Chain A
C-alpha cells in the first residue's frame, strides 16, 4: 500500500499544476476580497448594508450557497487542470524517456495506470476541495475584519451560522460520485495519452467527433453524442433537470424554486441512472486499452 501512496506522491511531484493552480486561484480570490473590502471600508457611508438584517436561518442558507459556489469554482478549474494532466501523464514519460526508468521498477503497468487514474479522479479534486476550504476560511476572516471596521453587522454571525460541516460533507460526497460519472471520459483521455505521441488534444476530440458524425450519417441517431454530452456535464445538473421535468406542476406552485439540494444529491436517483452503469462499462474497456498500451507498446530504440 505504501508503494501506491508513493506513486500518487510521484504524480504530484511531476505535475505541479495539480497543487499550484488551486493555490494560485485561492490567492487571486483572497486578494480580490481584500481589495473589495478596502473599497467597502472607504465607501461605507454610501453602501449602507447590514448583514444583521438577515435572520439566522437566511444567513445560514446564504452562506451555504456561497460555500457551495466557491467550491464549484475550485472544482471547475481543477477539472480542466485534470483534463490536461490526463492527456499528459502517459505521454510525458515516453517523451522524456523516463519510462525506461519507471519500467525498471517492479511496479506493474496496471498499478501505474491506476495510480494516474486515482490522482486525476480522487487526489486532485480533494486537493482542490482542501485548498478551497482554506480559501473559504480566509474569506471569512477578511469579511470579519471588514465587518469589525465598518460596523456593518456582527462578525460572529458569519461563523456561528456557517454550515461548514455540511458544505465539507457535500464536497466529500461529490468527489467519488463525479469520479464515477466522469469515468468514461477520464479513461478515454488516459487511452489517448497512452497512444498519441503528439497532438493529444486532436486525438482526444477527433475520434469521438467522427463517431458522432458517422452515427448521425448512417442511422440518423445521436446516441454517442448524448452519451458524451451527459458524461461531460456532470451528474448533478442532469439530476436537477430531470427532477424539474417530472415536477412541472410543482413549478407552477407559488414559491417553488426548483429541486432541493437533498433531492439532487440523492444517491438512489444517482445509482438508478443507466448512464452511470453504461459509462462504467465503456470506461473499463478504455482503461483496459490504456493499460494494454502501457504494457505492450514497444519502446522505440
Chain B
C-alpha cells in the first residue's frame, strides 16, 4: 500500500521561530488522522506544507508529488477546508457550484445538491447572507461532493456552536468517509473528534511528540482510577499523568501491564486530552 503523505525531516522557520522542527511521518490510505496541538504548535504550518501553500525544507510527498511544485495537480485528489473557512462572500450558492463543476473534474454537482437539500441553504442565496454555520455547511457540502483521496480540515469547526460542530463530524463520517479515503483533521479540541479518529499525531512547538494508531494507544496507555489508600503504591509505578478527582485519582501509565494496573483500581482507555498534556510535559522535560 502506498502512503498518501510522506514527510521526511520536514522543517520550517518563520524568522527565528521554528514552526516545524525535523518532523517525519507517513499517512496511509483509510486513516483518519487527528493532528492535535496547542495554538501555534505548528499544526497549520504542517497542513499548509501538505497543501503546497508554504515553503519548507526536507522532503514531502503527497500522492507521490511535491505539493509545493505541483499544487494544482495535487489538488485534483486533495481537498481542504482552511481554518478561516472563507468562501467568497460576493458569490451566490449556484455560482460557486458552477465554478466548482467547471474547474474540478471530480466534483459532482448532483451530490452537492443532495447534501445542500438537507440544509436550509437556498441556491439563489448570496454567501454574504448566510450565517457562519451555514457557510461551513455549504463548504462541507461542496467538499464532500468531490471524489478526492485526501481531505484536509484545519480547525474546520472553529467558531461554530456545538450543534453545528456535532453535525459536521457526523455527516463527515456517515456520508463521506470510507476505507479508500483519508482525512487529516487538526484541532485543539480533542474530545470532539476523538471518536472518529484512527490515528493520532501530537505536535508541540514544531515537534511531533506522539504519532500512533488509536489501537496502539489503547494498548500502550492505560488510565486507572485509584482510591486514596492505593495511591502511594500506584505512584511507585511512575504514572505519566495525574489528575485528582473526587475521592479518586486518575493516573495515566505508559507501557505498564494491564494485570498490574487492574489490582490498583478501575482501568479504562486514556483520555486523549490527559495523554496530550502528559506528552507535552514529557517533551518539555
A residues at B contact (CB < 8 Å): 2-3, 5-7, 9-10, 13-14, 96-98, 100-101, 103-109, 111, 295-296, 298-299, 301
Contact = CB atoms under 8 A, between A and B. Distances in A.
A105 B81 CA distance: 11
A116 to B, nearest CB: 15
Indicate the size class of the contact surface on chain B: 20 to 34
A3 B82 CA distance: 23
Contacts of B125: none
B102 A3 contact: yes
A96 B86 contact: yes
A2 B102 contact: yes
Given A96-B86, A104-B79, A299 B54 contact: yes
Contact of A13 (B45, B54, B91): B91
Interface in B100-118: 100, 102-105
Interface in B49-101: 51, 53-55, 71-73, 75-76, 79-82, 84, 86-91, 95, 98-100
17 contacts: A3-B103, A5-B102, A6-B98, A6-B102, A9-B98, A14-B88, A97-B84, A97-B86, A98-B87, A98-B88, A101-B87, A104-B75, A104-B82, A106-B72, A106-B73, A109-B71, A296-B55
B48 interface: yes
A133 to B, nearest CB: 27
A296 to B, nearest CB: 7
A104 B80 contact: yes
A14 B88 CA distance: 9
A106 B44 contact: no
Contact of B103 (A98, A100, A105): A105
A239 to B, nearest CB: 40
A6 B55 contact: no
Of A3, A13, A96, A106, most buried by chain B (CB within 10 Å of CB) is A106
Nearest to B96: A101
Interface of B: 44-45, 48, 51, 53-55, 71-73, 75-76, 79-82, 84, 86-91, 95, 98-100, 102-105
A262 to B, nearest CB: 42
B93 to A, nearest CB: 13
A194 B166 CA distance: 39
Chain A interface main SS type: helix
B55 A100 contact: no
Contacts of A111: 72
Nearest to A110: B72
Contacts of A6: 98-99, 102-103
Given A5-B102, A7-B103, A100 B82 contact: yes
Report the 8 A-B pairs with minimum CB-CB distance, sorted nearest first: A6-B102, A108-B72, A100-B82, A106-B75, A106-B76, A98-B88, A97-B86, A3-B103
B86 A98 contact: yes
B95 A13 contact: yes
A159 to B, nearest CB: 39
A139 B87 CA distance: 42
B75 A96 contact: no
B103 A103 contact: no
